[in-house]
Amino acid sequence: MNHFIFDFDGTIVDNFDLVHKIVVAELKNQGIIVTKSKEELRELGVRATMTEYKISKIAMLKMVLSLKKQIHIELFDYPPVKGLMDVLKKIYKTENLYILSTNKLENIRKYLNKFGLNNYFKEIFEDKSYFGKSHTLDGLLKKIKADKKDVYYIGDEVRDVEAAKKSGIRSVAVAWGFEGDNPLKSANPDFLFHRPEELLNLIAS
């Protein structure tokens, strides 16, 4: 039996438009005008975007904090990624599913309940660590007592891939979320998927 740990925003929730709107508005408040389109930013990736627009780490931190405060207001207006619900319905019957996210636990539970996904996940973990996702991943792995070779972390950002590698588990990058092919490929994930149906390939691996 495998253990699939899912990121939430961008990976399960199709809310890139929401995050983009909040980020652009917050950067504008800081005097940074974003001229690239949403798709251009996806393919550029977070780090390259910071470099191109000269976004400091402090400005990025302010933006992330603002994002976390605002995202819950409109979160429930954005459905799960198209096709993912059917995939989860198949996977959870034979595999253990979890969520690890920086989003608030309460928000995630309400969202899963609204869209009928609450029965698919064994447990939800909120990442509150200042040391990065890998630190929380390590704690999660100890709790579920799983063999690392049977654990996959599924996320839509380069930092998700890096966290999985640091924790010694398999990284699954999904290109339907916040970062696109170019930045995700550069992180060298174990798997790179473009459609939710491709996750079914992991069941037999």
Q: Is the pLDDT of residue 2 over 60?
A: yes
- The pLDDT assigned to 169 comes to 96
On whether the CB atoms of residues 100 and 140 are closer than 8 A, the answer is yes
Least confident of 109-118, 125-134, 145-154: 125-134
Q: Is the pLDDT of residue 181 over 90?
A: yes
pLDDT tens track for 27-48: 888 888 999 999 999 999 989 9
CA distance 146 to 188: 24
- The pLDDT assigned to 55 comes to 85
Q: Which residue has the higher pLDDT, 77 or 61?
A: 77
157 burial via Cβ count (<10 Å: 0-12, 13-18, 19+)? buried
Q: Is the pLDDT of residue 131 over 70?
A: no
Looking at residues 169-179, what average pLDDT do you find? Answer: 97
Q: Is the pLDDT of residue 113 over 90?
A: yes
Q: Which residue has the higher pLDDT, 95 or 30?
A: 95
pLDDT tens track for 48-60: 988 988 888 888 8
- The pLDDT assigned to 130 comes to 57
Looking at residues 189-196, what average pLDDT do you find? Answer: 98
- The pLDDT assigned to 99 comes to 97
**Chain mean pLDDT for the chain:** 91
Looking at residues 16-30, what average pLDDT do you find? Answer: 88
Q: What is the DSSP string of 102-153?
A: SS-HHHHHHHHHHTT-TTS-SEEEE---SS-HHHHHHHHHHHHT--GGGEEE
Looking at residues 87-104, what average pLDDT do you find? Answer: 94
Q: CB neighbours (10 Å) of residue 57?
A: 8
| DSSP label of 196 | G
